[in-house]
Amino acid sequence: MAHSQLTSRQRGFTLVEIAVVLVIIGLLLGGVLKGQELINSAKVKSLINDFRNVATFAYAYQDRFRALPGDDAGATSHLSGGVKASTGGTAGNGRIEGNWNSTTATDESVLFWQHVRLANLASGDGRNPGLEGLVILDWLPRNAAGGRTGITGVAPITGWAGNFFVCQDNIPGSLARQVDIAMDDGQPAAGSVRLLANGSASGSAVALADLADGTPYTVCAAL
């Protein structure tokens, strides 16, 4: 009896049982990979929408006030609580000046966000970004990858033509590649969508051969 019990305890898995376990593991891994694919797809769509929405804000504001948000010399009269830019460029000259990722509260590229919010074109805090206690980095918009979304009328890449440029940073190369393919030509150093080093306000475009899926980049679109 003791020998029989020992033999029973030592019995291993059958081939059928092992096959069932492997199938279950495969299904779980497939579900995880599919879930990650769906998450990445949603992020890409959100990033693309951010580019398009910022352009829509700019054109809608221009249609209403005959001025670009941030560059609006009459912001104090057009908007209750609106602030006229005093740095980053000349207000009223038809260009949104200042770096796209500026955190200077009086720059045109920063006040762009106050103007479109006070005009009810975009959601968010419309207070004066220069008020004491208001943290600029928290006040500025963030994208689906946790990076900054910004706008400027100054080309981030020398010689790049456009009315203005919308940029987002902290975008992994794998997602940046998909954004470029969906919006442009898939060439990070050419066309209307280009990539720069992550967090850069300006510089040289990233070459296709240097694009790495796991590396974060700044992605800019000329609009």
Give the confidence band of 9 by pLDDT, cuts at 50, 70, 90.
low
Contacts of residue 181, Cβ cutoff 8 Å, sequence gap at least 6:
none
Which structural domains are found in the chain, ordered by start?
44-222 (3.30.1690)
Q: What is the pTM of this model?
A: 0.84
- What rounded mean pLDDT belongs to the chain? 91
DSSP state of 117: H
**In the β-sheet with 216-222, what is the strand arrangement from edge to edge?**
149-152, 165-172, 216-222, 193-197
User: In this predicted structure, what is the pLDDT of residue 98?
Assistant: 96
CB half-sphere exposure, 14, CA atoms < 13 A = 3
169 contacts 198 by C-beta, under 8 angstroms: yes
Q: Encode pLDDT of 101-118 as tens digits.
A: 999 999 999 999 999 999
Q: Which H or E run includes 218?
A: strand 216-222
pLDDT at 12 over 70: no
**Which residues pair with residue 142 across a beta bridge?**
148
User: In this predicted structure, what is the pLDDT of residue 11?
Assistant: 63
Q: Which H or E run includes 217?
A: strand 216-222
Q: Which residue has the tokens 């694919």?
A: 37
pLDDT at 35 over 80: no
Distance CA 171, CA 213 (A): 10
Q: Encode pLDDT of 121-167 as tens digits.
A: 999 999 999 998 899 999 999 999 999 999 999 999 999 999 999 99
97 contacts 152 by C-beta, under 8 angstroms: yes
pLDDT at 97 over 80: yes
Q: Measuring CA to CA, which residue among 35, 48, 4 is closest to residue 184?
A: 48
User: Which SS3 state, helix, strand or coil, does residue 220 take?
Assistant: strand
DSSP state of 209: G
Contacts of residue 75, Cβ cutoff 8 Å, sequence gap at least 6:
67, 82, 83, 84, 85, 91, 111, 115
Mean pLDDT of 173-180: 96
Alpha carbon separation from 211 to 36, 112, 128, 207 (Å, rounded): 21, 31, 39, 7
